[in-house]
Amino acid sequence: EPEVTQTPSHQVTQMGQEVILRCVPISNHLYFYWYRQILGQKVEFLVSFYNNEISEKSEIFDDQFSVERPDGSNFTLKIRSTKLEDSAMYFCASTYREMNTEAFFGQGTRLTVV
Amino acid sequence: TQLLEQSPQFLSIQEGENLTVYCNSSSVFSSLQWYRQEPGEGPVLLVTVVTGGEVKKLKRLTFQFGDARKDSSLHITAAQPGDTGLYLCARRGSSNTGKLIFGQGTTLQVKP
């Protein structure tokens, strides 16, 4: 069964460092998303991406965040200068269509900023 | 508001018991999805409900969408330890970008 894969599964980084979280969406999907889940809190939308550009972003997705689809298969989330409060599970998701379709989530990357 | 309120937040029951979790909003939504998330994994879609009053069954799970499309419930019959996990309801955002808005989830623990 096709699945969304994320690497690494766990990333520990020092405050102020840059991190890149990687995702390989399902191959025929066209819409890509990043969500995050701070421990004990709800899953929160960060950004949606279609046709090589951001289609929507949340207030959380400030100038420290960027997304890229560099090679037609990977979808990356970069945090330029990590803060302690960026510690969370980050989930990538993809869908075939924009609406009325199932979102497939990756297993997540646990980011710990120390 | 587009917020989804789930209740209860935590539920610990014995194997074989029945349970219901709720997802409520003050606004009408066109559809609602229920997801299950296990520790260390991403959410996995269980069902999408679209029509007011709709009832969908998935083995021992029964999903209901309120007539006014402001609330939904998930009922599990004869819960098993394998049902343990975080149950999330989610709705589409008002912009047509596929964004999902999640409730805070109900953590279910089924003890053998």
- pLDDT 10s digits, B20-58: 999 999 888 888 999 999 988 899 999 999 999 999 999
Q: How many domains does chain A have?
A: 1
Owning domain of residue A59: 5-113
- Angle at CA of residue B87, ends B102 and B11, nearest 5°: 125
Q: Is the per-residue pLDDT at A1 higher than 80?
A: no
The domain locations on chain B are 5-111
Angstrom distance (rounded) from CA A5 to CA B48: 23
- A contacts of B88 (beta carbons < 8 Å): 42-43
Q: Please give, rounded to a whole number of angstroms, the shortest distance from the CA of B42 to a CA of chain A.
A: 4
Q: Is the per-residue pLDDT at B19 higher than 60?
A: yes
Question: What's A86's DSSP letter?
Answer: G
> What are the structure tokens assigned to A97, written together?
């269509």
Residue A55's CATH number: 2.60.40.10
Task: Give, in words, the CATH class of B5-111.
Answer: mainly beta
Q: Please give, rounded to a whole number of angstroms, the shortest distance from the CA of A95 to a CA of chain B.
A: 8
Beta bridge partners of A76: A22, A68
> What are the structure tokens assigned to A32, written together?
């890509």
The helix/strand/coil state of B53 is coil
Please report the pLDDT score of residue A73 as a whole number.
Answer: 87
Q: Is the per-residue pLDDT at B1 higher than 70?
A: no
For testing contact with chain A, the best of B97, B101, B104 (most A CBs within 10 A): B97
- B contacts of A44 (beta carbons < 8 Å): 102
